[in-house]
Copies of this chain bind each other. A is one copy, B any other.
């Protein structure tokens, strides 16, 4: 057994290594999240916002995998704020309600015009019971971080840099800048765990983030090709085939998929596809003048191209492995790198 890593996040979650699987709709389901937790990290899973019944079945999967027929669950559930705000047939608020009833250890909230409302919602739910849900919130700017920490009193912050795959703020700084700024703006004794997200796929990056002061690291892209990932086989194949140059941030992806309605300024990073480059600079949810959306979508289909969300670290995903191997490799490599730091200082 290799040594453990001790940060404010490992203490908060009671885990051995601060490696986090993020909530990713259509990628991290209950099985994948359970496997990451079993590997010593911590897994979040997400609704696909298809049906309430499917969401309910995810909890059956989690309880079965973890061998926990009742009681609190050592995994987390992630929700999109702007979906919780809407009354849609998939009943997003009932999905949150179910996650709370199932006593998930944490909820992950992102992308809403007022996430504070949902933080309060969770806190209020917990007032009448012993189990207390930890609230994690994703931020893309220092301003967002200060609101989440000082006003909403969240239990942990995920600082998501522009390298991140999937949705994020189009204006997010690179992780090295965003994380550094947040860490220096809030005194260590007075802040919740700050977790680094964006482009992180290698052990030496984990060591770097922890040395900077992060309490943990999020790895989305690294788990996309796992057997238990909900990505379709063809998407997993594209993830494994991609190199590090193959991603781009764009509003075009959601337009092409028809998944619009995200809060202002939210775009996404995915594998580069022909035609997306030339759509750069487009406004959110607006097909550029002179372009016909159906023609673009048809051209993509004819080229067998698809929207596949992925972060800048995608080149590191070279095969389909179980989360246990991924977590162990990140952990052992990070510990080795952190040990090496001792030789850097000369008194």
Considering only residues 193-241 of chain A, those with a C-beta below 8 Å from chain B are: 198-202, 204-205, 207-213
* Contacts A171-B245, A176-B175, A281-B277; A345 near B207 (Cβ below 8 A): no
A3 CB, nearest partner CB in chain B, Å: 5
A199-B177, A204-B213, A208-B212 given; A7·B344 CB < 8 A: yes
Number of interface residues of A (CB under 8 A): 54
CA of A198 to CA of B177 in the docked complex: distance in angstroms?
A: 10
Q: Which residues in B have their C-beta under 8 angstroms from that of A347?
A: 3
Chain B residues near A204: list those with CB within 8 A. Answer: 180, 183-184, 212-213
Whether the pair B200, A6 counts as a contact (CB closer than 8 A) is no
Chain B residues lying within 8 Å of A342, measured Cβ to Cβ, are: 341-342
CB-based contact B173/A312 at 8 Å: yes
Q: Which of A257-295 contact B (CB under 8 A)?
A: 277-278, 280-281
A313 CB-CB contact with B under 8 Å: yes
> In the bound complex, do residue A180 and residue B163 qualify as a contact, i.e. CB atoms below 8 Å apart?
no
Stoichiometry (number of copies)? 2
Q: How far is A211 from B338 in the complex, measured between Cα atoms in Å? A: 6
**Is A3 a contact of B208 with CB atoms below 8 Å?**
no
* A72 touches B (CB below 8 Å): no
A4 proximal to B (CB < 8 A): yes
Docked CA distance A173–B246 (Å):
10
Are A174 and B202 closer than 8 Å at their CB atoms? no
Q: Counting CB contacts under 8 A, is A35 at the interface?
A: no
Proximity bits, A88-104, B CB within 8 Å = 1, else 0 = 00000000000000000
Closest B-chain residue to A312, C-beta based?
B177
Tell me, yes or no, whether A112 is within 8 Å of chain B by CB.
no
Decide yes or no: A176 and B162 within 8 Å by CB, A210-B341, A244-B181, A346-B4 being known contacts: no
What CA separation (Å) do A300 and B171 show in the bound complex?
A: 24
CB distance from A271 to the nearest CB of B (A): 15
Q: How far is the CB of A183 from chain B (nearest CB, A)?
A: 6
CA separation between A3 and B344, bound complex, in Å?
A: 10
- Cβ–Cβ contact A163 & B181, under 8 A: no
A residues 308-347 near B (Cβ < 8 Å) are 312-313, 315-316, 335, 337-347
CB proximity of A245 to chain B, nearest CB, Å = 6
29 interchain pairs (CB within 8 A)? A3-B346, A5-B344, A5-B345, A5-B346, A6-B343, A7-B344, A163-B174, A163-B176, A173-B312, A174-B175, A174-B176, A177-B199, A177-B244, A180-B201, A180-B202, A180-B205, A184-B202, A207-B212, A208-B211, A211-B211, A211-B212, A211-B338, A212-B337, A213-B337, A278-B281, A280-B280, A280-B281, A335-B345, A338-B341
